[in-house]
Structure 1
Amino acid sequence: MKKTLFFVLFLATIVACKSTSTVNTKLDNKTERMLKGNWTIASVNFPGSNYFNVNSFNIEDSKCFVGSNWSFISNNNKGEMNLNNPSTNCKEFSSPITWYVNKDGNFVLKIINNHKAKEVNNGFVLDVKNVTENSFDLVDKINVAGDIKNITYSFQRK
């Protein structure tokens, strides 16, 4: 009986400690160095953008991100994002961020917003595409009536 109880507790411990994260944490330092600096989102594109709105990063409508400013520091994977387009009806928003690019081509982002990074339990995983010296795209997947569509944030170096 003791062996059975020990075995059940052992299995429960293994299952309870199993990681739920499926994001690769091995860094793509070359891509990270290319993203270092100050950027602005030049456009946000997705199929059906004329017919429905997308709330980006749980902050604001995706159209409000056009003109937003982002800074990426590659040696410590920190930065900042700012939505501050006074010509729109969008709210202003500013927050420190943490980020990294992994070997799978994913851009992993946490919006800190008055917290310590280790206290933030959710984040965003986007595909990084078309990286050049002066531009790159972040591609997120959204569910539109059961269909998965891509929303592309196109960045330009400032």
Structure 2
Amino acid sequence: MIRVFDILFSLIGLVFLSPLLILIFLIGFFENTSPIFVQKRVGLNLKFFSLIKFRTMPIQVRSVGTHLLKNIQLSPFGNFLRITKIDEIPQLWNVLFGDMSLVGPRPCLFNQRKLINERKKRGVFKVRPGITGLAQISGINMKTPSLLAKTDQKMIKNMSLYKYFYYIIKTIFKIIQ
């Protein structure tokens, strides 16, 4: 049932937000000629997929988790995209194509070995990664791999249709704040 809602909501979101997506794409293109950022991530059953986002950093910045960078170099427009979370909207394509869900553990990079090992131990890769979830609304990020994996496991264990909507609504309120 959750997959049906993922497809429905991602389609509605992409259609409804298409004018904004086009505008962001054009602004990003004029800022750095490469407004879309595609990054290899670890998904369901440890399979790699290409995560789609709006580019927030200059093209020459290496592709690692931002928590591993000492000085995060955001472009001026990229800073706005990060603050408003608009950079995440293209992930609706990942949801539509089945690589992700709206709710699930955030997909990690292939080189985040400690997090991958922690998640393997807890069965986190048995579900689709998501745009939001318990860790995101709790402020837990990739800097604390063990805590993140435990939180992901807890979310998966208690997942229901009610929790699915709860995490989405809670995320929207966090963004608005």
TM-score by length of 1: 0.24
| Structure with greater proportional strand content | 1
| Structure with greater proportional helix content | 2
TM-score by length of 2: 0.22
